[in-house]
Structure 1
């Protein structure tokens, strides 16, 4: 393929990257924290599979909490994007508008992620709070104080410095992601559905202190079946709390349980189960299993369980080495649904000494992709230098043509 061919494909990509949707842009009024606010519904979206989003864009009420709760950046991206992907089964992008969660504040989420208090701990905390209020000559409502203190969903422990007790009762739930789905009627936008993602640990890390305040760090693996059992109970508890919130008494709720990967993993974890609770319902019924997996290439898991893709990627990497013998290797990330490869992302880090090298190498990789990589899955090839992304090659599943973009 000639160089001009690559450039023409780039132009085509720029012209088609934002395709107008069928709905016209409109101004609507939405209820936000008991106030009426004017928002704009865009007349376009990136594709039929994507949700339209209100303008100006609203950050979530619990913005920033996820960064403090999930240690792995790839898990952060996957749980947010994956929750939106699974929400499409219940909230059609052609009908619903996406908004980041506005009901669960950062304070609420942090409170729910804490541990429940034992009866002894609760009573001690209540009496301490009552004493403070009385000294300040303020009104005392013990029942309200108890409810405020007993917000934690994770299991209680008597002594946080008892490693055995901590391992037996780990903090399973590490984060709660909320997403809102709105519909418009008569220029009014109302929440017509919400999705809740429960991020569950696969490894629990903690520390204990001795009398000299010396810390000892521990970790324990959490079996998937136990994580799933606890996650389902947590979802029921959260549903009960949501139903007591103003505006959510009758709103449909989708729950999805996400199992995190280890904090050092180069690939994210995955969703393992989801369920839908219709409007007005207060009990969760059946759960639907989700069979998804993210796989690193090359890796022992890939060579053992995904032999065909491993061999193809290995051949692809070897052919790249024939062109650039001193490069460090292709790194692949495969996303599987029901054991079928759905998306493959290949990263190729190489040092270049001019734009001509970038163009020539991109053309070479383009040919390899056409020859070796199937069109049964979404494909993305990122060609990078140490300072920036140099070029991108991608193809949608089922398409024959590859799209190319050279970054300037």
Structure 2
């Protein structure tokens, strides 16, 4: 029997250490995984945050919508892209509590299904939600009423699985339709009256519910909330808003429609706008704008989008455009803007202020509801 030399002993010790470290690493990784993730049948959930939904992660990645990208490419005003989906999620919270449900991006309506729904009805597409083309090119033409739609799913835990417990479908309706009389020709605009838009939305809502319930995994009694959104005009500086909602408890039946009182307006208001909505906010913003304009000589403009719910201001987003020549100018101006905003702009509502030069963002100031100061971020 051969004797093991010194080098042999060293090799054995090193091998044992490697094995020991590997075992410790294995148990440590598994322990961390089990304590930091919440696994449910092959999926994970993000950590819970007060007032926000837990969301679904699959294979280590966020579970994106099956019809991802359609809203962003179909909406003509970029402001509607964000407002449509974020406002829909806010609306969903009134039906599905964040403490009881898990949010999942829409998984039942595929991209091809949504695309078919958004097209005109025709001999080759019976699913089209928009009316058939009547061949007219004037105000008597059948416009495109439905611009886009999106699905949001709300899940509950069922043992080790996730179970679909409810859905919210947002439908973006046009207030105007842009079209061409000939390919590559001039673009024309056809306005759609509120009455026509509302009536057409109610008409096609059961068709949407029917199509959703046809999808595998959606039961006949899954609660489905459908919410109608009025798009803004293409050149509007304010986004559109949700104006009505209804719920289907089973089949394609819908409960009575409920009005949603939301409105976004641009400040300063135009002289032709004689409505009382936002008058107080408009005055306070005018004082803010004058104050910062007097402080800094190169102000190119300042505007705000004020959001209202049931006639009450709910949030404000301010954009100040100017030209800076040094980092100290940006920092000094941002400090002054935060002081002026505290003095003149409405209190107790979330306010976000963006300071930019041309298309380059210079600083962001954020004050959440109840905060007494702004959090300022200077961008290099």
TM surpasses 0.5: yes
Is the counterpart of residue 150 in structure 1 residue 126 in structure 2? yes
**Following the alignment from structure 1 to structure 2, what is the Cα–Cα distance between the partners of residues 69 and 357?**
40
Equivalents in 2 of 1:42, 1:83: separation in Å? 20
Match of 1:243 among 213, 223, 235: 213
Once the two structures are superposed, residues 56-92 of structure 1 have per-residue CA deviations (whole angstroms, 9 ceiling, x without a partner) of 2122111122233211111111111111110111111
Aligned residue for 1:268?
239
- Alpha-carbon separation, structure 1, partners of 2:134 and 2:378: 59
CA contact (8 A) 1:271 1:290 kept: yes
Indicate whether 1:88 and 2:90 are aligned: no
The equivalent of 1:377 in structure 2 is 349
Aligned-residue offset at 1:387: 6.0
Q: CA deviation at 1:230?
A: 0.8
C-alpha distance in 2, partners of 1:317/1:101? Answer: 42
Structure 2 match to 1:14: none
Partner of 2:160: 187
Paired residues for 1:190-339 under 5 Å? 190-209=163-182, 215=185, 217-249=187-219, 250-278=221-249, 280-300=250-270, 304-305=274-275, 306-339=278-311
Contact 1:25 1:44 in 2 (8 A): no
Tell me what 1:75 maps to: 80
Q: Distance in 2 between matches of 1:233 and 1:348?
A: 43
Which of the residues 133, 143, 150 maps onto 1:177? Answer: 150
TM-score by length of 2: 0.83
SS at match of 1:163: coil
Contact 1:302 1:310 in 2 (8 A): no
Q: Give the superposition deviation at 1:107.
A: 1.0
Tell me the distance in 1 between the aligned counterparts of 2:256 and 2:367. 37
The structure-2 alpha-carbon separation of the partners of 1:181 and 1:301, relative to structure 1 and needing over 3 Å to count, comes to farther
Spell out the pairing of 1:26-37 with structure 2 (5 A cutoff): 26-29=38-41
Structure number with higher relative contact order (C-alpha < 8 Å, ≥ 6 residues apart)? 1
Structure 2 unaligned segments of length 5 or more: list them. 1-34
Could you tell me whether the CA contact under 8 Å between 2:281 and 2:345 is conserved in 1? no
Which residue does the alignment assign to 1:3? Answer: none
Task: Supply the RMSD in Å over aligned alpha carbons.
Answer: 2.2
Q: Distance in 2 between matches of 1:225 and 1:282?
A: 23
| 220-229 vs 367-376, which moves further | 367-376
Could you list the runs of 5+ residues in structure 1 that have no partner in the other structure?
A: 1-22, 30-37, 126-148
Could you give the per-residue CA deviations for residues 272-303 of structure 1, whole angstroms, max 9, x where no partner exists? 1011222x343001111011111111231796
8 Å Cα contact 1:295/1:302 also seen in 2: no
Q: Computing the radius of gyration over CA atoms, which structure comes out larger, 1 or 2?
A: 2
CA distance in 1, matches of 2:178, 2:242: 21
Moved more, 338-347 or 374-383: 374-383
Q: Counterparts of 1:126-145 in structure 2 under 5 Å?
A: none
Which position in structure 1 is the counterpart of 2:55? 53
| TM-score calculated relative to the size of structure 1 | 0.78
- Shift in Å at residue 198 of structure 1? 0.7
Q: Is the 8 A contact 2:210 2:252 kept in 1?
A: yes
Q: Distance in 2 between matches of 1:238 and 1:277?
A: 11
Distance 1:351 1:242 in 2: 50
